């Protein structure tokens, strides 16, 4: 899809993020009835009370995440699979993107959507109940979290390689978290956003 006009007008879209948006068609990640809205700059329903995120928000998050070719990336809340595919384009065949999704049906449909792109270095799996991310497959160079946390989940910070970056909305603020290994992470704030909640996925809830 084209980069949304509101983003283009501020002139700040990094060319690699722009290329990823051009290569990966948002429409192909949407349920049939939503496809006609694909060019609109707003979140769109994908079922189970979840959304495919607003394009401007995704552009901003990917720009903050500063993904480089060859990196290993974790996509928490892969939903429709769109962000996993965009990340797959950014890391290229030398990299790896692992999506993880709490709603099992979305993990399945997201993986199906993703498979149309022949990026065998990308995959999506269901989240393990009560576990954030994929600790057994860490460390990651980058972590994208597309759901809102109440507080910074340290389990996810621990899955970053030292020097690695995570972009995550926490209490409506977009945070960039840089791991400093054993030292506390460096955290910076980058504007206010609305998101669906990051759920711990405890089977007893």
Ligand X SMILES: C[S@@+](CC[C@H](N)C(=O)[O-])C[C@H]1O[C@@H](n2cnc3c(N)ncnc32)[C@H](O)[C@@H]1O
**Sheet with strand 122-126: strands edge to edge:** 122-126, 96-101, 72-76, 140-145, 160-170, 173-180, 183-192
> Could you tell me how many residues of this chain bind ligand X (CB under 6 A)?
25
DSSP one-letter code for 143:
E
Q: What span, in angstroms and rounded, lies between the C-alpha atoms of 122 and 84?
A: 7
28 catalytic? Reply is: no
The catalytically annotated residue of 9, 28, 53, 115 is: 53
Restricting to residues 143-182, which ones interact with ligand X according to CB under 6 A? 146-147
| Residue 41 dihedral angles phi and psi, to the nearest 5° | -85, 70
Among 87, 90, 100, 157, binds ligand X (CB under 6 A): 100
Task: Rank residues 101 and 141 by Cβ distance to ligand X and give the closer one.
Answer: 101
Among 51, 60, 122, 159, binds ligand X (CB under 6 A): 51
**Residue 109 in the binding site for ligand X (CB under 6 A):** no
Distances (CA, A) of 75 to 4, 7, 67: 22, 23, 12
**Residue 47 in the binding site for ligand X (CB under 6 A):** no
| Residues forming the site for ligand X (CB under 6 A) | 46, 50-53, 76-80, 82-83, 100-103, 106, 127, 132, 146-147, 196, 198-199, 201
């Amino acid at each position: 899809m084209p980069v949304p006009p509101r983003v283009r007008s501020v002139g700040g879209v990094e060319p690699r993020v722009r290329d990823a948006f051009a290569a990966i068609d948002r429409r192909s990640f949407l349920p049939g009835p939503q496809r006609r809205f694909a060019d609109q700059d707003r979140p769109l329903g994908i079922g189970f009370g979840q959304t495919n995120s607003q394009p401007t928000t995704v552009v901003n998050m990917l720009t903050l995440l500063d993904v480089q070719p060859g990196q290993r990336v974790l996509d928490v809340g892969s939903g429709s699979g769109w962000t996993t595919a965009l990340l797959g384009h950014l890391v290229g065949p030398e990299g790896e993107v692992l999506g993880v999704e709490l709603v099992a049906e979305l993990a399945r449909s997201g993986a199906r959507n993703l498979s149309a792109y022949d990026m065998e270095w990308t995959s999506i799996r269901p989240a393990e109940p009560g576990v954030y991310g994929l600790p057994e497959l860490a460390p990651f160079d980058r972590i994208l979290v597309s759901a809102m946390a109440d507080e910074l989940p340290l389990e996810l910070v621990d899955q970053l390689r030292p020097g690695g970056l995570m972009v995550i909305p926490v209490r409506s603020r977009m945070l960039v978290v840089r791991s400093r290994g054993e030292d506390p992470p460096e955290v910076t704030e980058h504007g206010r956003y609305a998101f669906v909640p990051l759920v711990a996925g405890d089977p007893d809830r």
